[in-house]
Amino acid sequence: MASEESLTALRQRLGLDRSLPAQYLDFVGSALSGDWGESMVTGRPVVTEIMTVLPWTIELTAVSLLLGAAAGIPLGVWAAVNRNRAVDYAVRVASLLGLSFPAFVSAVILLLAFAIQLRWFPVISARSGSVGAWFQSITLPALSLGLIMAAYITRVTRSAMLEVLSEDYVRTARAKGVRWPVVVRRHALRNALLPIITVVGLFLGIQIGNSVLTEIVFNRPGLGKLIVGALNQRDYTMLQGMMVIYTLIVVFVNMLTDIAYGLADPRVKLQ
Amino acid sequence: MKRSAFSAAIAFSMLAAPAVAQEPKRDLVVATSQADAGRLDPHLASAGADKGGLNWVFNALVRIKPGETSPEFIEPDLAESWTSSADGTEWTFTLRQGVQCHGGYGEFTAEDAVYSIRRAASKETSAFSGDFAVFDKVEAPDPYTVKVTLKNPIPSLLGLLSNYHGGLMVCGKAAEKLGADFAKHPIGTGPFEFVEYLPQQYIKLKANTAYFRGTPQLDTVTYRYIPSDATRDLAFQSGEVDMIFGRQNNQWVERTLAVPGAVVVGMEPAELNALYLNKTVKPLDHIRVRQAIAHAIDRKLMVAFTGDKVAREAISVVPDGNLGVVNAGLLPHDPEKAKALLAEAGYPDGITLKTIQSSLPVLLKIMETLQAELKKSNITLDMQVVDHPTYMADIRKDLSQVTLYQAARFPVADVYLTQFFHSRSTVNTPGGVVNFSHCDVADAEIDAAKRELDPAKQKELWKIAQEKIVADVCAVPFSEQLVVWAWNGALDLGYDLQGSLNLVPQLTEQTHFTK
């Protein structure tokens, strides 16, 4: 146990002897100038530690979002236009399974199948260099996260499409003799995009949380591994920085969602 | 040193893979369970995995022979010889000539050694400064002589200056030039030199071609951080990793041995599992209650629970394999006697004890087994399960009546006895360490052994201390767990591995692949 003298010196050095408002103002002032303190475990600057791994998390989330959207939107549309048929049931069951499967289970199954049995991809997913190496490194983790995203987007797209397909203007378009694929693509899907964008925006935050497990199982650098390490070691300065960065990410994603509204629906304009 | 058949390293199997006519590999990949590197400075590194990796980069004045853990195996390292005064307070080391620091920082001389010892002794630059409090003066009378003067003799000065904790030698010029960046770019004199660190991924080392014991046979070593047990296992199976930190259970050992060519080794130093009983609180202040707890625990069962391939029965309050350990006569398993003792102590209906317990699965499972075992003797453990950092903090605040603790220390009985059973080390007091039980029955013997220069008399004092502590039941030791590693059978460490003080196998200039 440290002596009272050492504790006093440490409190003075860290500014803990000052009032809470003064400490908070100090923190905000330093944070605004890019000084988020140093990790209590490694002694390295918090900003450096976060910025080194942030691109890995953004890359994983972005690629899994693309995969999820590329698979989820067509499947959702397909299920909606075939409502209550075998295809619809199959897609609904598959998407339910996708949502129910914990990320770490699908990750281990993917590793066993593609890294151990088939040997197509490495177990340690942290390669850089050539495009081939990047592709090898990103595929399995992005697939693991993308499957959940795809399942979620499929269900949201199906539900939004069903609502739009029952609107009068869809019936009118069909009555006018517009071809069914055109009705689905231009009249229905375009109008169903807004709720899809909303939930994707919300889910992106959850997906960053899911990336914690994915990063650990695929041994990929990222915010997830950083926050788990900081929690285990009670690295308060690092955790403080992580809270700030997660908040900034959520704000940024919300902003992107708002911009996407404007792109999807011309009636939504920034004033 | 006593070494039971079990305490020797256990090489479980080695299934030879078919021979292939090609050049042996020269790049080794090792995976640890740590999530990321901590401080890559030998005097600040506190995590086991960091210390293990830094041991491949740094030397010390003396070293424990690779593969061994006992100070009995101390041999020359940067110092080729040494002498000490009759009273054990003055030590003179003669250094090897021509040892080169990594990165072109020049020859390692006595000035570097003095700088390093002073750095290790300073609170500002070292996590091990307390170990060096007994140092009075460190001088360099000439470039190849280091003179150490102690305030009083200590049981193992050579242990302090060995390749463990603060004993590792840094190159002064590099440490001065790099300042705080030294922890990002460690410069030593060891067989491997630091190349790069990629956060959350690995540190890479390359062979030090100017190494004084000869050029290493490996070209590079990549030390990967893989915290997920499953991923580490899969990476080993797929051949992406050659050596992995293992799990301490029989199932893991058996499963890993099924990987073609895998070698699994349980190595020293074993960690002692013990329940520490706070003697100052009711009902544990009654000796019969403490004896009842000791009689209630079945050591054989606790070993079987973890697995006999990775654990063994405790024999004393100090881990087996430590210099000075004796079979201290732990009380036998006897639940009926336990109940009778409780009744004699005035608790015929049994007792309830409060304990703060870590949620770490490896510790929690042990405690749950103990809880079930104690219940058979009417002893109820009321567990408050908290996250591991909270557990570590709370038990040091003296908040737990009963504390389960798992530890290994530098294997000289003095260290364990002082930290766990000397009244100076009582938790929640100035200078407190890990004396959770408030034990003080062997203070005189522990202190006398520190001053004793005759090794035989010193061992006798440690023996008496252990017997007194066992008789007073300050703690109930029950099992010891070995550190488990697995590697590709084509890897030859270059020595016979019994253990490694830093809990990571030592890599030397002799380590190589046979295919």
ipTM: 0.79
Q: Looking at the DSSP assignment, which residues form a beta bridge with residue B277?
A: B402
Pairing of strands B192-198, B62-64: unpaired
Residue from the list A112, A115, A216 with its beta carbon closest to the beta carbon of B227:
A216
Pick the residue from chain A with its C-alpha nearest to B130. A2
Q: How far is B300 from chain A (nearest CA, A)?
A: 32
CB-CB: which of B184, B200, B428 is closest to A225?
B200
Q: Calculate the alpha carbon distances from A171 to A185, A186, A195, B93, B377 in Å.
A: 14, 13, 21, 96, 78
Task: Look at residue B14 in the predicted model and tell me its pLDDT.
Answer: 41
Using the beta-carbon criterion (under 8 Å), do B396 and A52 form an inter-chain contact?
Answer: no
Q: Which amino acid is at B364?
A: L
- Which residue, B390, B291, B365, is CA-closest to B331? B291
Q: Is the pLDDT of residue A138 over 60?
A: yes
Give CA–CA dist B284/B401, Å, rounded: 8
Check residue B85 and give its pLDDT: 92
Q: Say what percent of chain A tops pLDDT 90.
A: 31
The pLDDT of residue A215 is above 70: yes
Of residues B44, B180, B389, nearest to A234 (C-beta)? B389
Closest to A218 measured CA to CA, from A132, A110, A100: A110
pLDDT band of A79, cuts 50, 70, 90: very high
Pick from B183, B35, B229: nearest CA to A221: B35
pLDDT at B11: 47
A185: pLDDT confidence band, cut at 50, 70 and 90? confident
Q: Which residues pair with B402 in a beta bridge?
A: B277
Q: What is the pLDDT of residue B272?
A: 96
Interface test with A, best of B123, B228, B391, B423 (most A CBs within 10 A): B228
Q: For chain A, what is the HEC assignment?
A: CCCHHHHHHHHHHHCCCCCHHHHHHHHHHHHHCCCCCECCCCCCEHHHHHHHHHHHHHHHHHHHHHHHHHHHHHHHHHHHHCCCCHHHHHHHHHHHHHHHCCHHHHHHHHHHHHHHHCCCCCCCCCCCCCHHHHHHHHHHHHHHHHHHHHHHHHHHHHHHHHHHHCCHHHHHHHHCCCCHHHHHHHHHHHHHHHHHHHHHHHHHHHHHHHHHHHHHHCCCCCHHHHHHHHHHCCCHHHHHHHHHHHHHHHHHHHHHHHHHHHHHCCCCCCC
Q: Give the span between the Cα atoms of B194 and B212, in whole angstroms.
A: 17
Per-residue model confidence (pLDDT) at position B329: 93
Q: Is the dihedral of CA B429, B432, B436, B439 positive or negative?
A: negative
Nearest C-alpha in B relative to A229: B35
C-beta atoms of B389 and A232 within 8 A: yes
DSSP states of B181-242 as a string? GGGTS----SSEEEEEEETTTEEEEEE-TT-TT---S-SEEEEEE---HHHHHHHHHTTS-S
SS3 call for B457: helix
Q: Answer yes or no: do B36 and A233 touch at CB < 8 A.
A: no
Cβ-Cβ contacts under 8 Å, A44 against chain B? 184
CA distance A2 to chain B (A): 6
Give the per-residue pLDDT at B277. 97
As a whole number of angstroms, the distance between CA B506 and CA B218 comes to 13
Q: Is B465 helix (H, G, I), strand (E, B) or coil?
A: helix
Contact indicator for B362, B248 with CB cutoff of 8 Å: yes
* Selected residue of A124, A144, A239, A242 to mutate for chain B interface (largest B Cβ count, 10 A): A124
How many residues are there in chain B? Answer: 515
pLDDT at residue A269 in the model: 66
* Cα–Cα distance for residue pair B502/B515, rounded to 1 Å: 28
d(CA B286, CA A173) in angstroms, rounded, equals 90
Mean pLDDT in order along chain B per 10 residues (515 residues): 40 45 88 89 85 94 94 94 92 96 95 96 86 91 96 87 92 92 92 94 95 97 93 93 93 93 92 96 96 96 90 95 93 96 95 93 91 96 89 91 92 92 90 89 95 90 97 97 94 94 93 94
Distance CA B9, CA B68 (A): 10
For residue A43, the chain B residues in CB contact (below 8 A) are 39, 44, 180, 183
Predicted pLDDT of residue A102: 81
Q: Which of B227, B122, B183 is nearest to A43 (CA)?
A: B183
Closest CA–CA distance from residue B211 to any residue of chain A (Å): 29
B283: preceding bond cis by omega (within 30 degrees)? yes
How close is the nearest chain A Cα to the Cα of B60, in Å?
24
d(CA B117, CA A227): 35
- pLDDT at position B19, please? 47
Q: Give chain A positions within 8 Å (CB) of B44.
A: 43
3-class SS at B173?
A: helix
CB contact (8 A) between residue A225 and residue B230: no
Q: Are B442 and B468 in contact (CB under 8 A)?
A: yes
Distance CA B468, CA B440 (A): 10
| Residue B136: burial class (beta carbons within 10 Å; 0-12, 13-18, 19+) | exposed
**3-class state of residue B480 by DSSP:** strand
Interface of B with A (CB under 8 A): 35-39, 44, 180, 183-184, 198-201, 224-228, 230-231, 234-235, 237-238, 240-241, 388-389, 396, 427-432
Phi/psi for B268 (5° steps) reads -80, 160
Output the six-digit token pair for B56: 């491949």
Looking up tokens 């006897």 gives B334
The span from the CA of A49 to the CA of A39, in Å, is 8
User: pLDDT above 70 covers what percent of chain A?
Assistant: 95
pLDDT at B21: 60
CA B480 – CA B499 distance, rounded (Å): 14
Q: 3-state DSSP: chain B helix, strand, coil percent, rounded to 5? A: 30, 25, 45
Chain A residues contacting B, CB < 8 Å?
A: 1, 3-4, 41-44, 49, 52-53, 108, 111-112, 115-116, 119, 122-124, 126, 216-219, 221-222, 225-226, 228-229, 232-234
Read off the tokens for B369.
């087994």
- Per-residue confidence band for A2, with pLDDT thresholds at 50, 70 and 90: low
Mean pLDDT calculated for residue range A4-19:
78
In this prediction, residues A169-179 reach a mean pLDDT of: 89
More confident site: A11 or B489: B489
**How many angstroms separate the CA atoms of B184 and B40, rounded?**
6
